[in-house]
Structure formats: C-alpha cells, structure tokens
Structure 1
Amino acid sequence: MKLWILDDDLIIVESLQRLIARNGLPFDIITMSSASEALTRLGEEKPNVVLTDIQMPGMNGLELLARLQAELPDCPFILMSGFREFEYAQQALRLGVSEYLLKPIQETQLVTVLTQAVHKVNRSREMFCSLLASGVWKDEMLSKLPIFRDKAASHRFRMTLFTASDEQSIFEGLLDWSREQGCWAVAFSEKWVVVEWEESRIADRIAAMRSDFMAGMSDWVTGCAKLPKAWSQAEQALQTLQFQGTVGVRSYNELERRFQPIMQNREGLFDEPETSASEHRYLIAKAKKFVLASLHDELTLDLVASHVNVNRTYFSTLFKRETNQTFWDYVTSERIEAAKKLLLNESLSAYHIGEKVGYKNPSHFSRVFKERVGMTPNEYKNRFQTIE
C-alpha cells in the first residue's frame, strides 16, 4: 500500500518514517518535498494514502489536494499543520480531508489515523473483489481503484487466484513480490488475488517458492469490463486443483484443453460428501480442539483436515459454512486471545510470547496483533498490566 508523505522539513519526514516503521504499518513510503513533485509523479503512479503538510514552497497542501481529488476521489487525505487556523480547518472539511493533524504530531494519533486510512482502502479493495466475484462490472468501480482507471479500455489483464496450506507470512511475501513486479495484489476472503497487465512470470514464482501452492490463472482479457470474466476463469481453474487435491498452477486454457468433457457437464463436480449435521458439528469441534492444543505449532490446513479425516478443500468449505469464519480467521483469533492472556500473566517478552502462540516472525506477530487489537503487544501489556 503506497503512502505519499509531503513535507519540506526533512527532520519531520524522517521522524514520520520511523514512527510508521516502528508500528508495523503496511506502507511503502514515498517522500516528496513539494506539491509540484507530487503532481509530476502522479503521472507515473497513484498513492493509496496521502499525508501532506499545508505549508510548502509554491503550491500549498490545500491547493494540492484540490488538484489530486479529481484523480484520486476515494484516496484518504491527511493534512498536517503547525497552525490552529480555523480557515484551514474549514477548507480541509470542504475538500473532504480524512483527518487534520496538528504539529507536533503525537505517535498514537498518527497511528490511529493511518490505521483508519488502511481500513478504508481495504474496504474499497474488498468491495471491488466482491463485485468481480459476483460477475458484476460497473464503470463507477474504477473511482475506487485509480490504478485500474488509467488502464480501463485498452489494457490486457490476467488474473490469478491462489491459496495454500501454510502460514500467511508466505502469502504476504508473494503479494509483496507481485506488487514489486507492477501487479495489483490483495488478500480477499480465503483467496489471494493478483492482477497482471504485463507478463510478470508469476506462475514460475509460485512454483519456485513452495510445493503446496494452488493457483488458478485466467486467460488474458482486454479492458477492465472483462475482469469479472477473468475472475470466473481463474476460479474455475483453481477449483479443479482443489477438487483433485493437486498443488501447482493451472491456467484456464489448460483447463479447457484437459477437462473439456467435464466442463460441458459440471453438475455435481464439486459436490461434497453426504454427511449429517451432527457429524459436521462433531468434525468442527474435533478440529477446534486440535487447534487449541497446537497453537504453538506450525498449523496448516492440510494438517488439521488430515486430523479429522477429510480433504483440505472439503474441510475449508465446511468450516466456513459452519462457523461463519474462515479457518485462518479462527486460528488467528485464538492465537491472539492466547497472546493477550500471556502478555498479562507472563514476564516473557512480546517476542517470546509470539513464539509460544505460533508466530516465528516477531514483526508478523506484532502486525497481526495490532490489526486485531488496535495496539502493539507491548502497548497492550503496558496499558492493561497497569490497570490490574
């Protein structure tokens, strides 16, 4: 997620960068010292969030935002100022600014505001994916994601939907790589979504990283209006891998060639085994008991599905239907709840507590904890141990 920071005071810019990094906020930061630099860069890339000072040489921050809004109507804009000028605040409100921060900026206030901006961007992405998955396309959707608007009519796109049976940090690494290649990449529900507009060799990358990836890849389509079609193709390709229990990458083109007779008569292809409601409840309860006893271990979907004697695809679908949450949502919730208890009752560091609940990477643990609880593990420990 790209964050533009605009301020001509280098000390303030460096301080903001340190605060953002220390709190594990998910931003790729681009810094600029003037509005003219931002307008020039706008032709090359689009930010997801803009944090700008009001007082800058040449065009001020308010004038810049008025210009940027035409290009970025749904981008969260955050203004910084050393002045309590009522006139500035009024102008900011008229421009639809998300927040108005007074310098010197408090760390907790900055983190809260930027976290809210992340949630707003993620909601737009989730809505975009939900509409594509339901087969809907409306041109108004482009305003939510400007990165597609410039490529609306003539660009070619290819979509990959993928899932795997390993820790989410593995997926995040693949998404980061995809973004570095110029792709649009986002986590959505139990899938990870990558849209290419140029060849990025993502299939080779997936195959090289791990052996347990499953990925469905669409044909190339022309124009954003064909993205729902690309989603449908990628999903069908992914479903055949899941149904067969086969890992790897499958393209829709390959699917058509290899499975044409099945594709023409797909009724019942992905039906689940006949099982009673009581058996479903028993299976889910058994799985949850196993998870709670194994939070400190490297849990995988395959491992838990094997423990209850069903295949991973069936188990994943059943778990979501019976509990109204994905398997990984459940595991993450239980790990964070266990961590909260340990933080208040153990003298161990946050690093060691993260390990005890299954997080080998302390940065990943801190980021997930903050997303779920609204504060870092150390902040949680300091605040609530004091209360007790």
Structure 2
Amino acid sequence: MLKLLLVDDEYIVLKGLEIVLRDQKEVSLEIRTAIDAVDAYEKAEGWTPDVIIADINMPEIDGLTMLERLSVTIPLCRFIIVSGYEENEYLKRALKLHVDDYLLKPVDKLYLIRRLKQIDEEKQARIKNTLMKCRLMLFRGHFFHDSEFSGQETEEFLYLPYFSLFVAGLSPSGAREAKSRLAGYFEQIFVFSQNNWSIFLLNYSVKLQTEDIRVILAHVLDGNISGIADTKQNGEKQAFLEQIAFHYQNALCDMLLSILPVSEAAKARAAERIAAHTLASAVRVITFELSAAAYVNEIYAAAEAPEDNFLMVFTETLSAYIMIADINLPAASIQKLYQTHVKAVVNERTLAAFLEKSQNLGNDLLTPAEQEAYSSKVDAARAYIAEHYQEDIALEQVAEFVSVNPSYLSYIFKKETGITFLQYLTNVRMQKACQLMTADPGLSLEEIAIRCGYHSASYFHKIFRGKFGVSPRQWLQNPGNSPLLLD
C-alpha cells in the first residue's frame, strides 16, 4: 500500500482529488489530507508518507518551500507538484528538488493514477528484493554473515516504529492462518517459512514489551511453541535487518529455553551467553567441520557458571539442528531429551561424549520417508558433481540445485558418504585425472588440470600429490597404481 499525502489550500479541489483517488482500483492507497504546509508538517511527522502531492500556491508557505523542508526530514518521500502556472522559476526549483512530476491544472486524473501505480510498483519491487535478501540470510546458509541494507530499504520495509521477530513450529499453511489471526494485533507481518518452521517479522505502531507479545502469541498460536527475539524500535532498524539471522537464532534459543525444566536465572544466563557466542560453532559441529571436543573446550573456557554448560550446549545444538535440518519436536519430547541426558553430563569429557552422540540426532529424528527423501538429495548432489566437476562448483551451488540448506547438505552428505562434500568432489576430480592420464599419457599437466576443474597445473599437482603421495607423472610410471574408486 502506498501512503499518500494530499496538500492543497482549496478545500473543494483537495476533496475532489481525494474522492477520485479513493474510488480508483488501480493502486492501493492510504490517503491523508492537509490544508496547508503547517498542517502537512504535522501529518507527515510520525506517519512518513511515500508520496506527497502538493499545490504550489498556498498562503504563508508555498508548496515548493514546504517540499524543500520535508525532503530533509523524510528523504525517501516522492513529490508530485500541481500548479496552475508553468513558470520557469517554479520549474527550476522543482528540478532541484528532484520532483517526480510537475502537473498542470486541471490535473489529468488517469495520468496521475498511472504515475502513482508506477511509484507503488517500484516500491514493491524494492521490498521484494529486501525480502529475498532476508530469506537468503535465514535459509540459505548465510546465518553468520551480515548483509548490508540501505537506509531506503530499511525505512520502506519497516516503516512503523516498533518491530520484533519470533519463530514458531508452523508449516507454511499453518503460518498463513497464524498471520491472519495476528493481523488484528500488528499492522505489518512478514512470514518466512520452510517445511516445519516459520519466522515472523512483526512491524507495529504501538510500543509493546516482549512479555506483551508472548501473551498475544499464547492466545493466537493454539499451543504451538514459539520463541521471541527482543523487541526493537526506530533507531535500531538497519542493524536489526543486517543481523536478522542472529535474531532468528536468539528466537530459537528463547523458544527452547522457555520449555526446559530449569530456573529462570539459569535460562537468563544461558540466553546471554548464547547471544554472545552465536550458534556458529554448534552448526560447525553438526556439519562435521569442528570436533565435539573443540566446541566443548570453547564452552568451558568462557564459562562463568560451569553448571550451565550442559544447558547451553543442549540449547545451542538443538537450535542448530532446527536451523539446519528443519526438525520439529513437540515440547514434551524436548523436555524428555533434556532430562534423559542432564544427569549423565558431569564434566567436560561426558559433555563431549553427549555432543558426539548428538551428531546422529538429525538422522534419528527423521521418519523413514524423510530419510529416503534426503538420501535422494545426496544422490542428486553426487549426480550433479559427476556432470559438473570440470566447472567451478561449490556447496552452495549444489545445495540450491537440490533445494536444501547448504549446511544441511553438508551434514547429510557426510552421513551418507562418510566423507565431506569437498573430499568427495576432490575424489571425483582425481579419479577423472587418473582416467585421462591412463587413456592419453601425452596430455600436459595444464590440460589435465583444466579438464578436471582446476585453474592451475601447480595447484592440481599439489592436490594430486596430497591424495596419492606421488606426482602425476610418478603415478603414471607405476603400472600398479589405480584410480580412486567411488561408489
């Protein structure tokens, strides 16, 4: 919806234009009116119109002077001038203001409607782009990388002063139903869904505390568990969007901590530590990029309250699985899982043992049908590698092809094949190199490297020696050598 402020000191003209624009169906408008510049200043404050249509000739403060002042306080606003005069001085001042249009009276109503529709489409395209960036940060492996948002993006996207984020165990259809119920409480709601989980970004005009939002969610979500990131306000908009994935992780941890059978003080300490630590290490553990022992060492090294270490690791690990594997457990199952292990973990060694065991958690919680579906994803990834190994390919590219989160593809790939994605890609390329050298011993190292996906012969030589312990030529001279065998 486009927010439009009409400014004209002639009441009949003002109301006539308002009626025409309210009756049209081409563009959705929220219209407010002002009878002079002072009135316009008051109406624009706190409401932030997208477009102002103003008459030039008004008493005390003319339309162009008014727009000059408003362009400072609401720089993202678009201006359309209406005048009964085509004077050069007016035109020059309008050009300096970068007005979108200069219309002569009587105004061509159809042209004005088309112009407003064009401005609205441009705005919606920018919002759609912002939504895409947010979604990439939330679901495409960009969890721990900030993304830049311009001031215009931020203001157009979150145009109301207060905002918050919460996560709930809802499917896309369940999220749509929840959004319709939440619409009575919050003016603007964005939903990002994938399979079992949905993230809600709320933007609203009345200041609410986190506990107020909890009460609303308890009423609306019909018993579905949810977690909330701290509520924010105007000055924090840009930083909030740029770190939306961190707010997502905080909401996940808040959700888990809210249902665990521990004291409120312990929950508060764990939440504070997790916010500072982030889930980056937990994600690296479950995708086999970091050892359980190294992760536990991190936790113990920073612990001010060692008795909370299991609570922190449990919360971080399960939250990471939700982010990566999209698992969804009932609250009772989460509580039982916690109570089953909490008494057995008494020191650093037993915590590392728990963590190593939990690396199978993602697979253990999948139904047979889900396991089969994800096995097919790995098969599709292997087929993609076999077809594209000569190209520059990365985990993110293959994950997009098979429609899963990159971090989760890394996890299930290791579970299915016993090696990492990069190790498997290297094995494929080495096998192809051996086949090429065997079929045509006269090929140069440069030609072999290029045909196997490497940009330089020296780097190919280094990888080959690391894999086989000998150089490519030495390998070729030994008839007893054979290429790597892949399933």
Q: TM-score, normalised by structure 2?
A: 0.43
Percent identity between the aligned chains? Answer: 20
Say yes or no: does 1:263 pair with 2:269.
no
Whole-angstrom CA distance in 2 between matches of 1:169 and 1:254 = 20
Quick one: which amino acid aligns to residue 325 of structure 2?
L
1:309 matched to which residue of 2?
A: none
Q: Which residue of 2 aligns with 1:53?
A: 55
Name the SS for the 1:118 alignment partner. helix
- What one-letter code is carried by the residue in structure 2 that aligns with 1:224? K
Q: Secondary structure at the match of 1:120?
A: helix
Question: Deviations for 1:142-167, whole angstroms, at most 9, x for unmatched residues?
Answer: 3445589999xxx9852247885289
- Alignment-mate amino acid for residue 14 of structure 2: V
Give the aligned partner of residue 150 of structure 2. 141
Whether 1:159 aligns to 2:170 is no
Match status 1:275 vs 2:275: no
Question: 1:23 Cα deviation (Å)?
Answer: 2.5
User: CA offset at residue 4 of structure 1?
Assistant: 1.0
| CA drift at 1:76 | 1.5
Note if contact 1:51-1:78 (Cα within 8 Å) is conserved in structure 2: yes
Match of 2:255 in 1: 254
Match of 1:182 in 2: none
Q: Deviations over 1:13-62 (max 9, x none)?
A: 22222222222432221110111222234443321221211221221111
Aligned residue identity for 2:173: S
Contact 2:166 2:228 in 1 (8 A): yes
| Alpha-carbon offset, residue 137 of structure 1 | 5.8
**Which residue of 2 is the match for residue 92 of structure 1?**
94
Give the 3-state SS of the residue equivalent to 1:58 in structure 2: coil
Once the two structures are overlaid, the 10-residue window that deviates more, 201-210 or 54-63, is 201-210
**1:117 Cα deviation (Å)?**
1.8
On the 8 A contact 1:186/1:194 being kept in 2, the answer is yes
What is the root-mean-square deviation of aligned Cα atoms in Å?
A: 4.6
TM-score normalised per structure 1: 0.52
- Aligned 8 A contact 2:79 2:101 in 1: yes
The one-letter amino acid paired with 1:220 is: T
2:240 to 211, 227, 245: 227
Q: Gaps (5+ residues) in structure 2?
A: 194-198, 261-310, 327-361, 363-372, 381-398, 405-487
SS of match in other structure, 2:150: helix
* 3-state secondary structure, aligned to 1:178: coil
Aligned counterparts of 2:184 and 2:85: Cα–Cα separation in 1 = 38
Counterpart of 2:186 in structure 1 is 178
Say if 1:20 and 1:255 are closer, same or farther in 2 by CA, change over 3 A. Answer: farther
Encode CA deviations 1:181-206: one digit per residue, 9 max, x unaligned. Answer: xxxx2557767632357217556556
**Counterpart secondary structure, 2:70:** helix
Where 1:52 maps in the other structure, the secondary structure is strand
| 2:437 aligned partner | none
Contact 1:4 1:50 in 2 (8 A): yes
Larger Cα-atom Rg: 2
Q: CA deviation at 1:7?
A: 1.0
Give me the whole-angstrom Cα distance separating, in 1, the residues matched to 2:242 and 2:155.
20
Structure 1, gaps ≥5 residues long:
180-184, 238-249, 280-316, 323-388
Match of 2:39?
Answer: 37
Asked if structure 1 preserves the Cα contact closer than 8 Å seen for 2:4 and 2:52, the reply is yes
- Equivalent positions of 1:303-322 (< 5 A) are none
Contact 2:165 2:201 in 1 (8 A): yes
